[in-house]
Structure 1
């Protein structure tokens, strides 16, 4: 099973396409449909779950993602994703941060977060 998206409970989106995800993770889409700012959480680039998410879900190499974030941050056009150290931290951070979006390898139905379906 691939990565699953998790969002803050108040995020209304129930599904996102791979194209939307690429826009969000490459900092070209920074707001949800209701205009709430998207707060991205990621695992460290060397973490296996991050590599899996980048490769299998986004179809992009982790170092290329980091390059996009650095360029966006240094140019002042965007804010880099917030790095958390573990899937447990990811779950807690997304649950308590309005507008948050993150990913996990496996999550069962969870009352703390909104699990978003990834569509083609």
Structure 2
């Protein structure tokens, strides 16, 4: 008897790490999970230095967005969406800026003062700075 097991392509493929990125003028070099979660949930509207934070995200259905939310913020994408919807519908806040792909994410973060977003390694370049997660 021969037993054959198959691994899913997801399990076989090593997923690229996702990095928190910011506009080059952001003075903050590291964020803890709670602060990053508060910024991406749009509850905290400034960087720890006091500079206004401009949040950029990919669509909820994007696998990079889902991985970032789960791995770096310890929340599910639908939880972020619920928080954004609650603020928008109650008039107490706004949703983050939505971008179509990682190339647009890099471009918008690089050109928007105070911007924060996330990118896989292959999309990183000198136009954005990586923010460490503490």
**Superposition TM-score, scaled by structure 2 size:** 0.82
- Structure with higher RCO (Cα < 8 A, 6+ apart): 1
**8 Å contact from structure 1 (residues 4, 107) kept in 2:** no
Pairing 1:98–2:124 present: no
1:67 to 82, 89, 110: 82
| SS of 1:12 mapped into structure 2 | coil
For 1:49 and 1:10, locate their aligned partners in 2 and report how far apart those are by CA, in whole Å: 25
1:84 to 93, 99, 111: 99
1:51 to 63, 66, 73: 66
For 1:50 and 1:21, locate their aligned partners in 2 and report how far apart those are by CA, in whole Å: 14
Superposition RMSD in Å: 1.5
**Superposition TM-score, scaled by structure 1 size:** 0.91
Q: Which runs of 5+ in 2 are unaligned?
A: 1-15
**8 Å contact from structure 2 (residues 106, 123) kept in 1:** no
For 2:114 and 2:95, locate their aligned partners in 1 and report how far apart those are by CA, in whole Å: 15
Q: Which residue of 2 aligns with 1:112?
A: 127
Q: How many residues align?
A: 119
For 1:102 and 1:56, locate their aligned partners in 2 and report how far apart those are by CA, in whole Å: 14
The structure with the larger Rg is 2
Shift of 1:36: 2.0
Q: Which residue of 2 aligns with 1:29?
A: 44
Structure 1 residues 37-59: Cα deviation after superposition (integer angstroms, max 9, x where no partner): 11100000000100100111111
Q: Which runs of 5+ in 1 are unaligned?
A: none
**8 Å contact from structure 1 (residues 2, 52) kept in 2:** no
